[in-house]
Amino acid sequence: MSEIVLGVGASHSTLMNTHWDRVVHTDRAEAFRDALDAARRRVALARPDVVVIVGSNHFRGLWLDLVPAFTVGVGEVVAMGEAGTPKGPQRTDPEFARALAADLVEAGTEVAISARLQIDHGQSHAIQYLLGDLDVPVVPLVVNVFARPLPTLARCVQLGENLAKAVRKIAGERRVVVVASGGLSHRLPWPSDWADPQDDDEAFLVDAWTNGRGEWERYDRRRREIIVAARPTIFPEFDRAFLDDLAGGHLRRYASMTADELEAVAGNGGQELRTWLVMAAALGFVPGTPLVYAPMPEWLTGMGVAVLDPSEGDRRSASPAPESRLDPSEGDR
């Protein structure tokens, strides 16, 4: 029987790679980088045989011609390499990945599979900063967080719970680390609804998302210009409440939120928090340890890192859930 031995949640931003020299809040940036290093050491100490990376795809590996709610890479995995992230084929464990996908379906979560999955920084940023030189196979689990209709947060929690069940069914006594990549709060200069672009930039992005398969480079320069020119929008109060709930083992409460409610309090980029819910659910919502929170307007995102260790969770029971500090109506204040 295999087992999940550690969970990690970490924000990602390619601007960390390309715009470090333009950072104003250097103390925050260094604190986030140091927290990634600390999390990477925790992953290494966990001695994983495989790492499941739950992340998003920013329309560089999946396009609007087909966007499943959940996709498991069960064969070749190729990283795009955009903005200084890892590029090329990644080490994988197809036998484990196929068994995982099959057991997820048996448990009640129908996932799409890809025998040749192209990942972008929604997965490869975690490979770069949380795995580093650790030679361990990865299994990407891509969650649709950008192309509405989105999977409900409750469905993402169910995915995480079924992920834990599926891992326990897999023979071989593999030690599994589950990484969530994405979030915290941020607002991307993207249409919240791809079917309703509001200006020329949004229309361009929808065209790129629709027709980028096989020629994404043709769109990439202007895509990058749109991202870099975006006005930062971060919701620190939400981020701190979310990390407090993670520390207390109370993230399940977010399963009742709708996509619109989550966007109101965390921005359209906050939809990536589905990946954290999958990871936390797979760890049984054990109380976690936030390592850092760094609101980084230079990177457009509230950057956070946290670790969930089931062995620690066994020793410290979750405190009673306090009243939620979340009020979706406060999102635009």
List active site positions. Answer: 121, 186
Q: Are 117 and 73 in contact (CB under 8 A)?
A: yes
Q: Are 298 and 15 in contact (CB under 8 A)?
A: yes
Q: Report d(CA 167, CA 308) in Å as an integer.
A: 17
Burial class (CB in 10 A: 0-12, 13-18, 19+), 45: exposed
Q: 70: closest CA among 114, 7, 13?
A: 114
Q: Give the position of tokens 């995982």.
A: 100
Q: 120: closest CA among 188, 65, 55?
A: 55
Q: Are 300 and 239 in contact (CB under 8 A)?
A: no
Q: Is the peptide bond before 290 cis (omega within 30 degrees of 0)?
A: no
Give Rg (Cα) of the chain: 18
Helix (H) or strand (E) holding 101: helix 94-107
Q: Are 146 and 59 in contact (CB under 8 A)?
A: yes
